Chain A
Amino acid sequence: MEIAYRIEHPLKLDVELQVRGMTALLGGSGAGKTTLLRALAGLVPASGRPFAGLSPEKRLVGYLPQGYALVPHLTAAANVALALHGEDESAVSLLEKVELAHLANKLPGELSGGQKQRIALARALARKPRLLLLDEPTSALDAVTRDSALDLLETISNKLKLPMLIVTHDPYVASRCNHVGVLENGRITQAGDPEDVFQRPATVSIAKMVGFSNIFEGVVSEVADNGILLAVGSYRLWVESVLRPPAGSRINWGIRPEEVMVVRADRPLPPELKNNVITVTVEQLQKRGAGYCLRLGGPLPLLMLLPRHVQDRLRLTEAAKIEVVLKPRYIHLFSSSV
Chain B
Amino acid sequence: MIQAFLLSFKLAAITALVLLAFGVPLAYWLTFNDFRGRRLLEAVLLLPLTLPPTVLGFYLLVLFSADGPLGNLGLRWAFSFAGILLGSIIFSLPFALTAYKEAFRAIDPEVLDVVRTLGVSRWKRWRKVILPWIWPGLISGTLLAFAHTLGEFGVVLLVGGSIPGKTRVASIYIFDLVQALDFESAHQAAAIFVVLSLALIYAVRSLEEAWKSRIGSSIR
Contacts and interface: CB of A to CB of B under 8 A. Distances in A.
Interface of A: 38, 41-43, 55-59, 61-65, 67-74, 82-83, 85, 107-109, 116, 123-124, 126-127
A124 B217 CA distance: 24
Given A69-B111, A72-B133, A73-B133, A56 B217 contact: no
A83 B214 CA distance: 24
Interface in B93-146: 108, 110-111, 113-121, 128-129, 132-133
B117 A61 contact: yes
Most chain A beta-carbon neighbours within 10 Å: one of B115, B117, B133: B117
Nearest to B119: A57
Contacts of B219: 72, 109
B220 interface: yes
Interface string B200-217: 000000000000001101
B214 A56 contact: no
B120 A67 contact: no
B218 interface: yes
A56 B113 CA distance: 8
Nearest to A55: B116
Given A43-B116, A83-B118, A67 B220 contact: yes
Contacts of A82: 115, 118, 120, 128-129
Given A63-B114, A67-B110, A116-B220, A85 B132 contact: no
Contacts of B117: 41-43, 56-57, 59, 61-63, 127
Contacts of A61: 117
Contact of B217 (A65, A70, A109, A126): A109
A71 B118 contact: no
Contact of A73 (B115, B118, B121, B132): B132
B108 A67 contact: yes
30 contacts: A55-B116, A56-B113, A57-B116, A57-B117, A57-B119, A58-B119, A63-B113, A63-B114, A63-B117, A65-B110, A65-B113, A69-B108, A69-B110, A69-B113, A72-B111, A72-B218, A72-B220, A73-B132, A73-B218, A74-B128, A74-B129, A82-B115, A82-B118, A82-B128, A83-B118, A83-B119, A108-B218, A124-B118, A126-B118, A127-B119
Given A73-B132, A73-B133, A108-B220, A57 B111 contact: no
A77 to B, nearest CB: 13
A64 to B, nearest CB: 8
A65 B114 contact: yes
Contacts of B110: 65, 67, 69
Interface residues of B, number: 22
Nearest to B215: A72
B218 A109 contact: yes
A62 B110 CA distance: 14
Contacts of A65: 110, 113-114
A97 B159 CA distance: 66
Contacts of A62: 117
A41 B218 CA distance: 26
B114 A69 contact: yes
Contacts of B119: 57-58, 83, 85, 127
A78 B108 CA distance: 18
Given A69-B115, A71-B128, 10 more contacts: A63-B113, A63-B114, A65-B114, A72-B215, A72-B220, A73-B133, A73-B218, A109-B218, A123-B118, A127-B119
A139 B170 CA distance: 61
B123 to A, nearest CB: 12
Nearest to A40: B117
A57 B117 CA distance: 5
Given A42-B117, A56-B117, A82-B115, A71 B129 contact: yes
A126 B220 CA distance: 22
A65 B118 CA distance: 13
Nearest to A44: B113
A124 B108 CA distance: 18
A123 B120 CA distance: 12
A52 to B, nearest CB: 15
A73 B116 CA distance: 17
Contacts of A70: 111, 220
Nearest to A81: B128
Contacts of B132: 73-74
Contacts of B129: 71, 74, 82
A223 to B, nearest CB: 53
Nearest to B134: A73
Contacts of B214: 73
Most chain B beta-carbon neighbours within 10 Å: one of A58, A70, A72, A83: A72
Contacts of A73: 132-133, 214, 218
A20 B116 CA distance: 26
A74 B219 CA distance: 12
B88 to A, nearest CB: 33
Top 6 closest pairs, chain A to chain B, by CB? A72-B218, A83-B118, A69-B114, A56-B116, A109-B218, A69-B111
